[in-house]
Amino acid sequence: MTARRPAHIMPREKGTTPLDLVIAVMAFLAALALGASLVANRTADSWRAGLAGRISVQVLPPDKGPPEPALSRETAAALAILQNTDGIVHAAPLSQGEILKLVEPWLGQSALVADLPLPRMIDATIMPGVRVDIPALARKLKAAAPDSVLDDHSHWIARLRGLADTVIWSAYAILALIAVATAAIVAFATRASLEAHHEIVALLHQMGAHARFIASAFDRHYLLATLGAAAAGAGLAAALFLIAGSLEYAGVQPVSFLPPLTLHALEIPWLAAVPLGAGAIAWVTARLSVLAALREIY
């Protein structure tokens, strides 16, 4: 004879319940928050990697008189100092085209822009692991090129990291709120279910069922229901991230100076943490709710 699974001790609710819908929506929001934190973290890392070890020197047009030849003279002087500084492996001025491209998001592509007295830029790279005395270098540059400004990007790196951290911690706060809300509605649903099935629970208790046996009938139900609903919500969020990724691939970028809200292939599996976490919360909440209710029975 083949063994078959015994029938569920509690009656099954058929179809999608309001609880399933709420869990799915919350899982969708949680997956969006988690995805946003992943994007923010990756973007902050890439910004930091791109700026760390780089310095730039900006040579501003003089306040009085024509920009040339002062701009060219000071740029050459600054470049010479950078190239002769220990630890700097590369220093090169940006072309006029590169400078125009940098200001394009703010000033556009108008021909008038090229006529503006734009500053000159020198990009320099510091050898990895070498510390360059930035204040001393700034003083030397100031002496040779009075209109130069040295920027080691530390200010920007700190601000970008701060911005990314704000996004990440906001996402974590949203996740925590959603977790608390999930626990609350599962506890409420479990209590309602206990009320609805009071006679069955009382009978099982009377027949000598251990509290954990009765609790397992509820926690298993809420674990499976929550896993299913949360997987649907997180799956929808994953689909949105994939669509955003395909739009980026097609060249559509809604806001040019913000990172695209896309997840890499290796980051998508992280969204599975949402249904797994929701399932664990539901399981623990349902179990504790039933055990607490059973303690009130003689």
Say how far apart CA 271 and CA 241 lie, in whole Å: 11
The tokens for 117 are 């007295």
Q: How far is the CB of 194 from other proteins (least distance, A)?
A: 16
Q: Which amino acid is at 59?
A: V
Q: Is 209 in the site for other proteins (CB under 8 A)?
A: yes
- Which one of the spans 96-104, 163-171, 195-203, 246-254 is the region binding other proteins (CB under 8 A)? 195-203
Write down the residue that tokens 């930091």 correspond to.
Answer: 48
Site string for other proteins, 239-278 (x = CB under 8 A): ----------------------------------------
The tokens for 64 are 């009085």
Q: Is 188 in the site for other proteins (CB under 8 A)?
A: no
Q: Is 207 in the site for other proteins (CB under 8 A)?
A: yes
Q: Is 111 in the site for other proteins (CB under 8 A)?
A: no
DSSP letter for each residue of 224-251: HHHHHHHHHHHHHHHHHHHHHHHHHHTT
**Closest alpha carbon to 140 in 80, 90, 62, 94:** 80
List 86, 128, 131, 298, residue binding other proteins (CB under 8 A) = 298
Q: Is 206 in the site for other proteins (CB under 8 A)?
A: yes
- Which one of the spans 5-13, 68-76, 162-170, 176-184 is the region binding other proteins (CB under 8 A)? 5-13
The tokens for 85 are 């500084």
- Which one of the spans 185-193, 202-210, 258-266, 269-277 is the region binding other proteins (CB under 8 A)? 202-210
**Which residues in 8-47 contact other proteins (CB under 8 A)?**
8-12
Q: Is 7 in the site for other proteins (CB under 8 A)?
A: yes
Q: Is 172 in the site for other proteins (CB under 8 A)?
A: no
Q: Is 292 in the site for other proteins (CB under 8 A)?
A: no
Q: Give the strand order in the sheet containing 148-151.
A: 88-93, 120-126, 54-59, 148-151
Say how far apart CA 53 and CA 108 lie, in whole Å: 30
**Closest alpha carbon to 127 in 56, 77, 52:** 52
Q: How far is the CB of 6 from other proteins (least distance, A)?
A: 6
**Closest alpha carbon to 192 in 210, 217, 218:** 218
Residues of the shown chain interacting with other proteins in the complex, contacts defined by CB under 8 A = 1, 3-4, 6-12, 199-200, 203-211, 213, 298
